[in-house]
Each structure stands twice: as C-alpha cells, then as structure tokens.
C-alpha cells in the first residue's frame, strides 16, 4: 500500500474517530441530563414526604391520605422509570467509549504503519545513496591508481 493510500486511510480513520468522540460527548450530555432528572425526582420525593409528614401530624382526611398515596406511587414509578432511562444512557455512553477506544487504536495503528513505511523508504534511499557514494569512491580510487584508465560513468 502506498504512502498516499495510507494517508487517505489515516484521514478516514481520524474522521471516524472524531465522529465517535462527538457522539460520545453527546451521549455523555444526555446521560448527565437523565441522571440529573433522576436525582431531582428523588429530591422532590423526599421533600414531598417531609411536607406531608408535617401535614399528617395535623388533622387530615382519608381522601387526602388516599391522594397522597396515589401520587406517591406515581412518583415512585416515575423515579423508577427515570432510573432505568439513566442506566440505559450510561450503558450507551460505555458502548460509545468502547467504540472510541477501538477507533483510536485503529488511528494509532495506521500512524505506526505510516511511520514504518516512511522508515523503510528512508532506509532504501540511504542504501541507494551509500551505493552511489561507494561506487564514486571506488572510481576515484581506481583512477588515482592508474591515471590513464578512463572509466565510463
């Protein structure tokens, strides 16, 4: 594979990695929002219980207790549902992290391959240059030994 093809492959791998990073950041924001909403529902539930505990210390009716319990059950369901949403969002974040790690590894692998290829090309050029230098030195030494011999280049 040519260096140009490897550079194109690197650009594509970097673009995929950058897209995965953007997706991860988006999912992290969504997970944080879901987590915050779950926490807020939990806090609201706690405040609701405290407020009604004080209310029940005073005189209240069975209807009010029934409404309190009904609303409390719906609130518990909402908290449970939001907890599940938050957990699902965290799982998506973790999967996105794994994809990003894989893509970062791919980028690093392609870079390493490019470095190796460039090193091979440098070594090959150095060998050619050394061969030319050796040939020129051999011609120079031969011409000094016998000045009448003309070497063709």
CA distance 43 to 35: 12
CA distance 144 to 95: 73
List, for residues 23-58, the tens digit of each pLDDT value. 999 999 999 999 999 999 999 999 998 888 877 777
Per-residue pLDDT of the chain (153 residues; tens, 9 = 90+): 788 999 999 999 999 999 999 999 999 999 999 999 999 999 999 999 888 887 777 777 888 888 888 999 999 999 999 999 999 999 999 999 999 999 999 999 999 999 999 999 999 999 999 999 999 988 888 888 776 655 555
CA distances from 143 to 61, 129, 131, 137 (A): 121, 21, 18, 10
pLDDT at position 14 is: 97
pLDDT at position 148 is: 61
pLDDT at position 18 is: 97
Domains of the chain: 3-142 (1.10.287.1700)
Cβ-contact 86, 34 below 8 angstroms: yes
Q: What is the pTM assigned to this prediction?
A: 0.72
Helix (H) or strand (E) holding 86: helix 62-145
């Amino acid at each position: 594979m040519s260096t140009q093809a490897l550079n194109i492959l690197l650009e594509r791998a970097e673009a995929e990695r950058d897209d995965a990073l953007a997706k991860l950041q988006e999912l992290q924001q969504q997970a944080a929002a879901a987590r915050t909403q779950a926490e807020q529902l939990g806090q609201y539930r706690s405040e609701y219980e405290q407020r009604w505990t004080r209310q029940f210390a005073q005189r209240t009716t069975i209807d009010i207790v029934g409404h309190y319990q009904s609303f409390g059950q719906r609130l518990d369901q909402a908290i449970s549902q939001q907890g599940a949403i938050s957990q699902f969002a965290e799982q998506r974040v973790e999967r996105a992290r794994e994809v990003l790690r894989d893509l970062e590894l791919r980028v690093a692998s392609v870079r390493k391959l490019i470095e190796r290829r460039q090193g091979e090309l440098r070594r090959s050029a150095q060998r050619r240059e050394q061969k030319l230098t050796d040939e020129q030195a051999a011609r120079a030494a031969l011409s000094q030994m016998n000045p009448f011999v003309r070497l063709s280049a």
